[in-house]
């Protein structure tokens, strides 16, 4: 029997990006950690949207019972959606609450290896129980992400490299990677040197498995798959959940992935291009050398007809030329000599750099792609240093040019100011990426090749019939050859819809038209769409929030919206954290108990009538691993309690309800109805509370 009891446990959490596997930290300063015994990764991917569930098993190899804090670095753009942990046979399931985030580590600040291992913004999760000597701790984390895509190729990376934390072998390293795609999967390969133990590719679905026993974890999992380049256009996913299963009445959820046929554009838009390079003292060493290599690569790969300049800065601002110059062999070679002579020194005047760079676009117009790529590793320490004032200053500079400028920021290393760089790009038609010290050249050069050839600038989207709402991102990003646009939204009515993407190319209006069908039922395969929509809306609200004084009424209202979305849609935000909710003891049911038609069975609740507690019992016949919801309603149909339940495989489950509402208020006597929502099926029951 799998018994589930309510527990309310405080857990700390910080939303991150990542480079390496999770760590159970005992002393962050001296580098003392629980030993990692095994790493199991399950990935389910639809097109370019993946859901990863990683399960890590640690052993307390300390001489005494010990407190630990778990840290895991999420990949770029990923959002954590579920977290649970297993101690002494009992699973503890986390819920999301609007509590302050605790980033303090046992033992004090991180040592160099730990900081490098976790990257610039690690996730921290405080395990509330003491872990007994020689016992095991299992942590399971689930996150959703939009995968990197370029010219038909999609890349998945899981951070399995653990060599900076532990050189001892893991008993098991396992990856199961599943993909389904509406576009034909031409090829799929495991690019890392992990052993390939199972593989298939059926065209519309594919699978890669890697199992490695008794070996050290020294590299990340890397998978690349290629989608057919002759099958371009728009591919959409949709699901419509009953109002009783979602916290609003905005209707169904959809996500579409659009990639116009590059053959429809005979030439690319010319660019007016500025490369801004931070050469302050903190950029010295590897960062400066890689930044210079990336800058040289970009200059070497400009197109004929482009205009460009290079701005470099510490607390003194200098430039390659007094304004943008035509791209020729001579200007290219001179710019490369200029870049190679740069060296790191002094403070960081970001305002001064933009003050020189932006006015140079006054002579540009919207028939060109006007692009700034901004490379920096730190905080503004000279000029304007207040973040709100600096954002406003840059925004006003760009507005004064009376043209569209597309600003792309690259934050390098562990000390970047995310609250500056993220809105800086987002407010100016671009995006921000955060890089490790040793990946500056590879990431920036790869990114530049993506944006080298823009085909649709300042795009907009319209729908017919016009019953689509809450569409994100807003505004839409530019479209480039070989790249995609991923858009999420809500629909009030099901049925076919025509989507029109419009924008500018060569100062002419350009549009692409597609259609897809919005379904009227819940599709269990596409339940991740609720997370993707909530994540994209949260990202949009954060951009607005970071542009304001955080204490202003407008900022506080945005923060409240973000917290509401995070809690009600189960997507972690910078203002929310995981909090302990329920526990259960896993025991398999016997064959007789699990012998019934269908996948699930409700066996009722006992006692019934009850006061003040009852146990709801159900059975799961298949190997199901997900969080389901038991929802309890009063006689008026009002939701009084929503209980998340972690299903951990087939078996019998018992969930105790103590007749309290979600607000911890006691329910009155009467009839109550309950549903058990598995995503693809809903079971229903009735009970009576007698006081």
**Contacts of 337 by beta carbon, 8 Å cutoff, 6+ apart:** none
- What's the CA gap between 243 and 249, in Å, rounded? 6
CB of 207 within 8 A of CB of 241?
Answer: no
- What's the CA gap between 275 and 302, in Å, rounded? 12
Nearest one of 504, 672, 689 to 612, comparing CA atoms: 689
pTM recorded for the entire structure: 0.68
- What's the CA gap between 669 and 634, in Å, rounded? 10
- What's the CA gap between 157 and 143, in Å, rounded? 13
Beta bridge partners of 654: 3, 617
- 488 inside domain: no
- What's the CA gap between 450 and 518, in Å, rounded? 31
Locus of tokens 């002419």:
508
- 500 inside domain: no
Nearest one of 457, 276, 300 to 365, comparing CA atoms: 457
Distance of CA 661 to the CA centre of its chain: 32
Give the domain CATH number at 179. Answer: 2.60.40
Shared domain check, 310 and 205? no
Whole-number pLDDT of residue 282:
87
- 67 inside domain: yes
Distances (CA, A) of 65 to 34, 121, 232: 12, 29, 57
Locus of tokens 């935000």:
573
Nearest one of 169, 177, 176 to 217, comparing CA atoms: 169
Beta bridge partners of 27: 32
Q: Does an H or E element contain 326, and which?
A: strand 325-326
Question: Which of 409, 435, 454 is the last residue before a domain boundary?
Answer: 454
- 482 inside domain: no
Shared domain check, 313 and 169? no
Q: Does an H or E element contain 567, and which?
A: helix 553-569
- 193 inside domain: yes
Question: Which of 170, 197, 213 is the last residue before a domain boundary?
Answer: 213
Q: What's the alpha-carbon Rg for the chain, to the nearest Å?
A: 27
- 259 inside domain: no
Shared domain check, 195 and 306? no
Shared domain check, 112 and 16? yes
How many Å from the N-terminal Cα to the C-terminal Cα in the chain? 29
| 444 Ramachandran zone, left/alpha/beta (phi>0; psi -120 to 50) | alpha
3-class SS of residue 156 = strand
- 256 inside domain: no
Shared domain check, 138 and 68? yes
The C-alpha angle with vertex 560 and arms to 147 and 572, in degrees rounded to 5, equals: 30
3-class SS of residue 350 = helix
Count of positions (residues) in the chain: 691
Structure tokens at 268: 């690319």
Structure tokens at 165: 């934390």
Shared domain check, 287 and 166? no
Structure tokens at 437: 């010290």
Locus of tokens 């890689």:
290
Shared domain check, 166 and 275? no
DSSP secondary structure string, 230-264? Answer: TS-EEEEEEE---GGGSSS---EEEEEEEE--GGG
Whole-number pLDDT of residue 591:
57
Task: Print burial letters for 185-212: b (CB count within 10 Å at least 16), e (below 16).
Answer: bbebebebebeeeeeebeeeebebbbeb
**Contacts of 28 by beta carbon, 8 Å cutoff, 6+ apart:** 105, 106, 107, 108, 109, 110, 111, 114
DSSP secondary structure string, 410-453? Answer: EEESS---HHHHHHHHHTTT--EEEE-TT-HHHHHHHHHHHHTS
Q: Does an H or E element contain 137, and which?
A: strand 136-146
Helix ranges (H only) for 547-655 are: 553-569
**Contacts of 542 by beta carbon, 8 Å cutoff, 6+ apart:** 422, 423, 562, 573, 574
**Contacts of 631 by beta carbon, 8 Å cutoff, 6+ apart:** 244, 245, 639, 641, 642, 643, 674, 675, 677
- What's the CA gap between 149 and 661, in Å, rounded? 45
DSSP symbol at 387: H
Structure tokens at 274: 């500025």
Q: Which domain holds residue 140?
A: 2-213
Give the domain CATH number at 628. Answer: 2.60.40.3080
CB of 572 within 8 A of CB of 566?
Answer: yes
Shared domain check, 203 and 276? no
- 541 inside domain: no
Nearest one of 79, 225, 217 to 156, comparing CA atoms: 225
CB of 350 within 8 A of CB of 376?
Answer: yes
β-sheet with 252-259: strand ranges across: 233-239, 252-259, 485-491, 468-472
Number of domains in the chain: 3
Distance of CA 220 to the CA centre of its chain: 18
Shared domain check, 307 and 194? no
317 CB neighbour count, 10 Å cutoff: 18
Task: Print burial letters for 548-574: b (CB count within 10 Å at least 16), e (below 16).
Answer: beeeeeebeebbeebbebbbebbbbbb
- What's the CA gap between 210 and 198, in Å, rounded? 7
- What's the CA gap between 75 and 21, in Å, rounded? 11
Distance of CA 505 to the CA centre of its chain: 31
- What's the CA gap between 337 and 296, in Å, rounded? 9
Shared domain check, 171 and 83? yes
Beta bridge partners of 146: 49
3-class SS of residue 351 = helix
Question: Which of 439, 454, 469 is the last residue before a domain boundary?
Answer: 454
- What's the CA gap between 521 and 251, in Å, rounded? 11
Shared domain check, 187 and 44? yes
Shared domain check, 28 and 129? yes
Mean pLDDT by runs of 10 across the 691 residues of the chain is 32 32 93 94 92 92 93 83 84 76 85 84 83 91 89 91 94 93 95 94 94 93 94 92 82 91 61 92 86 87 89 95 94 95 92 95 83 87 91 92 87 78 84 71 71 78 94 87 89 94 77 91 85 93 86 92 90 82 50 76 90 89 78 86 76 85 79 90 91 79
Structure tokens at 505: 């190319």
Q: What are phi and psi of 82, to 5 degrees?
A: -160, 145
């Amino acid at each position: 029997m799998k018994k589930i009891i309510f527990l309310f446990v405080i857990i700390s959490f910080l939303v991150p990006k990542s480079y390496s596997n999770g760590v159970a930290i005992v002393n962050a300063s001296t580098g003392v950690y629980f030993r990692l015994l095994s790493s199991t990764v399950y990935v389910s991917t639809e097109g370019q949207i993946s859901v990863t569930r990683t399960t890590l098993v640690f052993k307390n190899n300390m001489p005494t019972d010990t407190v630990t804090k778990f840290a895991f670095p999420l990949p770029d753009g990923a959002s954590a959606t579920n977290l649970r942990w297993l101690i002494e046979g009992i699973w503890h399931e986390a819920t999301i609450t609007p509590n302050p985030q605790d980033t303090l580590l046992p033992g004090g600040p991180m040592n160099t290896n730990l900081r490098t291992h976790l990257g610039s913004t690690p996730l921290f999760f405080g395990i509330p129980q003491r872990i007994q000597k020689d016992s095991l701790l299992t942590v399971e984390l689930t996150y959703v992400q939009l995968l990197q895509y370029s010219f038909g190729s999609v890349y998945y990376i899981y951070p399995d490299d653990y060599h900076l934390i532990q050189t001892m072998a893991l008993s098991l390293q396992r990856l199961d990677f599943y993909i389904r795609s509406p576009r034909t999967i031409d090829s799929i390969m495991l690019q890392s040197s992990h052993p390939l133990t199972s593989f298939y590719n059926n065209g519309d679905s594919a699978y890669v498995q890697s199992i490695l026993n008794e070996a050290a974890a020294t590299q990340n999992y890397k998978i690349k798959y290629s989608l057919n380049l002759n099958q371009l256009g728009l591919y959409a996913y949709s699901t419509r959940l009953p109002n009783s299963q979602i916290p609003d009445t905005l209707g169904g959820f959809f996500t579409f992935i659009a990639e116009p046929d590059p053959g429809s554009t005979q030439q690319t838009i010319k660019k007016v291009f500025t490369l801004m390079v931070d050469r302050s003292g903190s950029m010295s060493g590897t960062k400066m050398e890689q930044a210079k290599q990336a800058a040289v690569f970009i200059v070497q790969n400009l197109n004929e007809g482009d205009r460009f300049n290079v701005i470099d800065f510490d607390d003194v601002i200098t430039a390659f030329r007094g304004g943008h110059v035509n791209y020729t062999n001579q200007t290219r070679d001179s710019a490369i000599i200029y870049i190679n002579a740069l060296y790191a020194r002094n403070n960081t005047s970001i305002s001064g750099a933009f003050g020189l760079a932006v006015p140079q676009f006054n002579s540009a117009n919207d028939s060109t792609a006007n692009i700034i790529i901004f490379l920096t590793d730190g905080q503004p320490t000279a000029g304007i240093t207040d973040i709100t004032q600096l954002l406003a200053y840059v925004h006003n500079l760009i507005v004064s040019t009376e043209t569209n400028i597309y600003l792309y920021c690259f934050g390098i290393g562990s000390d970047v100011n995310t609250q500056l760089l993220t809105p800086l790009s987002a407010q100016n038609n671009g995006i921000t990426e955060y890089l490790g010290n040793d990946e500056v050249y590879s990431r920036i050069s790869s990114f530049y090749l993506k944006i080298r050839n823009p085909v649709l600038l300042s795009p907009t989207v319209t729908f017919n019939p016009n019953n689509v709402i809450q569409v994100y991102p807003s505004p839409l990003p530019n479209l480039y050859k070989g790249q995609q646009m991923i858009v999420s939204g809500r629909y009030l009515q099901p049925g076919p819809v025509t989507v029109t993407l419009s924008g500018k190319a060569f100062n002419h209006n350009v549009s692409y038209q597609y259609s897809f069908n919005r379904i009227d039922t819940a599709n269990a395969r596409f339940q991740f769409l609720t997370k993707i929509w909530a994540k994209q809306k949260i990202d949009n609200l954060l951009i607005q929030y970071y542009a304001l004084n955080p204490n202003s009424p407008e900022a506080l209202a945005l923060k409240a919206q973000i917290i509401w979305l995070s809690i009600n849609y189960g997507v972690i935000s910078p203002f929310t954290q995981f909090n302990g909710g329920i526990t259960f003891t896993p025991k398999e049911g016997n064959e007789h108990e699990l012998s019934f038609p269908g996948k699930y069975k409700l066996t009722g609740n006992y006692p019934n009538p009850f006061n003040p507690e009852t146990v709801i019992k159900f059975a799961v016949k298949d190997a199901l691993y997900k969080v389901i919801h038991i929802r309890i309603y009063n006689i008026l149909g009002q939701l009084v309690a929503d209980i998340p339940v972690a299903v951990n495989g087939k078996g019998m489950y018992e969930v105790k309800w103590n007749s309290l509402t979600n607000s911890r208020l006691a329910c009155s006597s009467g009839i109550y109805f309950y549903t058990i929502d598995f995503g693809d099926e809903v079971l229903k029951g009735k009970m009576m509370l007698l006081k």
